[in-house]
Structures are given as structure tokens and as C-alpha cells.
Amino acid sequence: MNVWLLGSAVLLFALVPCGIASFRGETMERLVGLEMAGMIVTLLLVMLAEGMGRVNFYDLALALALLAFGGGLVFARFLERWL
């Protein structure tokens, strides 16, 4: 186990507040929880790629970063109806 894998384990615990905000918060808190979870998972995949030495995970992290931003925009558009 190296420092990168230890850091990724710590980032897993950072997803808990994002999940709480996404499931229990008000409408805008849910959007913030979703965006923050996307950013944390992207960083988690980058740290796993470095820790395991797999270059393929970098591509997955880049795709997730782009799709998480787009998903947040779609979610904001969906929430716009009720705000």
C-alpha cells in the first residue's frame, strides 16, 4: 500500500457528506452534493490510477469529469421548473 492508495481511501470517506447532502438536503444542496461528489470521485480515480500504475484510469477520470459537469447542468435545468 502506498501513499496514493491511502489518499484514495481517505477520499472515500469524503463522499459520505456529499451523499447526505444529495439525499436529505434541499434542492440546491442536492445539486451541490452532486457536483462535489463528481469532483471527489474524479480525484479518487486519478489517485487510484497513480497508485496502481494504470494509465486507463486517467481516461476514465477525464470522461467522468466531463460527464459530471454535464449531468449537473441537466440536473439544474430539471430543478429550474420548481424554483
Reported as a single tens digit per residue, the pLDDT across 4-14 is 999 999 999 99
Residues in the chain: 83
Q: With beta carbons less than 8 A apart as the criterion, state whether 78 and 38 touch.
A: no
Q: Which amino acid is at 55?
A: V
Reported as a single tens digit per residue, the pLDDT across 27-77 is 788 888 888 999 999 999 999 999 999 888 899 999 998 998 888 888 888
The DSSP-derived string for 35-71 is HHHHHHHHHHHHHHHHHHT-THHHHHHHHHHHHHHHH
